[in-house]
Amino acid sequence: MKMTKHRKEILDQLEHSEDALSAADIHAALPHINLVTIYRNLESYVSSGVVTKLNLGEQEATYEIQHEPHHHAICNKCNKVIHFSVDDETLKQEFSLPGFSISNVEVTLRGICIDPTC
Ligand SMILES: [Zn+2]
Ligand SMILES: [Zn+2]
């Protein structure tokens, strides 16, 4: 894959962020790259599996680097997103369907967080 300067800058933003970022967040950090270009590059990273797109309800979609497969818990009140890992082998057994071979499991939990500002 040819890596243009802009593509690299967009990926750098995601790499150096603790949280998942929306295209608008990235645009705010990289105002010289146009928003459409940012979207296009993000989508292309998503299709190549480098970046995961999170559609978490009402908010704008956010993107994060796929370091390793993990799951999300979302607070219904403040929209805080918690990233967590569990043993995927256990999950696969838990969800085992006859006649279906699971390659990965993605879990999104919804609830209320314990953040005092929530
Ligand atoms: Zn909360
Ligand atoms: Zn995550």
Q: Residue 86: is its pLDDT beyond 90?
A: no
Model confidence at 2, pLDDT cuts 50, 70, 90, reads: low
Residues 48 and 96 reside in one and the same domain? no
- Residues 8-47 have pLDDT tens digits of 999 999 998 888 899 999 999 999 999 999 999 999 999 9
Domain that holds residue 29: 5-65
Instruction: Pick the ligand that lies closest to the CA of residue 79.
Output: 1
Residues with CB under 5 A from ligand 1 (ion): 75, 77-78, 80, 113, 118
One-letter amino acid for residue 102 of the chain:
I
DSSP calls for the chain: ----HHHHHHHHHHHT-SS-EEHHHHHHH-TTS-HHHHHHHHHHHHHTTSEEEE--TTSPPEEEE-SS--EEEEETTT--EEEE---HHHHHHHT--TT---S----EEEE----TT-
| Most confident option among 42-51, 53-62, 85-94 | 42-51
Q: pLDDT value at position 63?
A: 94
Answer whether 56's CB lies under 8 Å from 74's CB: yes
Number of domain units in the chain: 2
Residues 20 and 51 reside in one and the same domain? yes
Question: Quick check: is 118 in a domain?
Answer: no
Residues 75 and 37 reside in one and the same domain? no
Residues 79 and 61 reside in one and the same domain? no
Task: For residue 54, give the CATH number of its domain.
Answer: 1.10.10.10
Question: Quick check: is 117 in a domain?
Answer: no
Residues 40 and 16 reside in one and the same domain? yes
Residues with CB under 5 A from ligand 2 (ion): 64, 83
**Rounded to whole angstroms, how far apart are CA atoms 43 and 29?**
18
Question: Quick check: is 30 in a domain?
Answer: yes
